[in-house]
Amino acid sequence: MAQKRARIRTQRMKWASEMPRESLTVSDLSEMERACLSPKSPGNDHDLLMRLWFEPLRLFRLANLLRQKSGKDEVTFIINRNINFTNQCIGSCKFCSFKHSKRYRLSKEEILSRAREAEERGATEICLQGGLSPGMLLEDYCGILEIIHRSHPRLHLHAYSPMEVLHMSRNSNVPVKDCLKELKRSGLGSMPGTAAEILVDSVRQKICPEKLNAGQWKEIIVAAHHLGIPSTSTILFGHVESIEDRLEHLEILKGIQNETGGLTELVLLPFIPENNLLGRTVPGADLLDRLKMHALARVALYPAVTNIQASWTKLGRDAAKAAIMWGANDLGGTLMDERIARNSREEPGISAEEIKVLIESCGRKAVQRTTLYERI
Residue with the bigger pLDDT between 21 and 3: it is 3
The CA-based dihedral angle spanning residues 84, 87, 90, 94, taken in that order and rounded to the nearest 10 degrees: 90
Average pLDDT over residues 126-131: 96
Amino acid at 39: P
Alpha-carbon distance of 148 to 118, in angstroms, equals 11
pLDDT at 35: 61
pLDDT at 346: 46
Predicted confidence band of residue 47 (pLDDT cuts 50, 70, 90): confident
pLDDT at 74: 95
Per CATH, domain 39-368 is 3.20.20.70 = yes
Residue with the bigger pLDDT between 19 and 177: it is 177
Mean pLDDT of the chain: 89
Q: Which of 45-59, 117-131, 158-172, 209-223 has the lowest mean pLDDT?
A: 45-59
Predicted confidence band of residue 142 (pLDDT cuts 50, 70, 90): very high
Angle at 223 between CA 222 and CA 226, to 5 degrees: 85
Nearest to 123 by CA among 368, 314, 372: 368
Predicted confidence band of residue 339 (pLDDT cuts 50, 70, 90): low
pLDDT at 15: 43
Nearest to 133 by CA among 112, 159, 163, 157: 163
On the question of pLDDT at 295 being above 70, the answer is yes
Residue with the bigger pLDDT between 300 and 69: it is 300
Amino acid at 339: R
pLDDT at 28: 53
Predicted confidence band of residue 307 (pLDDT cuts 50, 70, 90): very high
Residue with the bigger pLDDT between 326 and 40: it is 326
On the question of pLDDT at 78 being above 70, the answer is yes
Nearest to 148 by CA among 179, 182, 125: 125
Domains of the chain: which residue ranges?
39-368
Q: Where are the alpha helices (DSSP H) in the chain?
A: 2-18, 31-35, 46-53, 56-69, 108-120, 138-151, 162-172, 176-185, 201-207, 214-226, 243-260, 287-301, 312-315, 317-325, 352-360
Average pLDDT over residues 205-213: 97
pLDDT at 71: 84
pLDDT at 190: 98
On the question of pLDDT at 312 being above 90, the answer is yes
pLDDT at 102: 80
Predicted confidence band of residue 72 (pLDDT cuts 50, 70, 90): confident
On the question of pLDDT at 322 being above 50, the answer is yes
Average pLDDT over residues 258-284: 95
- Number of helical H runs and strand E runs in the chain: 15, 10
Alpha-carbon distance of 353 to 347, in angstroms, equals 16
pLDDT at 73: 87
On the question of pLDDT at 22 being above 50, the answer is no
Angle at 10 between CA 5 and CA 13, to 5 degrees: 125
**Residue 164 CA: distances (Å) to CA of 122, 159, 168, 367:** 28, 9, 6, 31
pLDDT at 97: 83
Kindly report the number of other CB atoms within 10 A of residue 209's CB atom: 13
Alpha-carbon distance of 118 to 114, in angstroms, equals 6
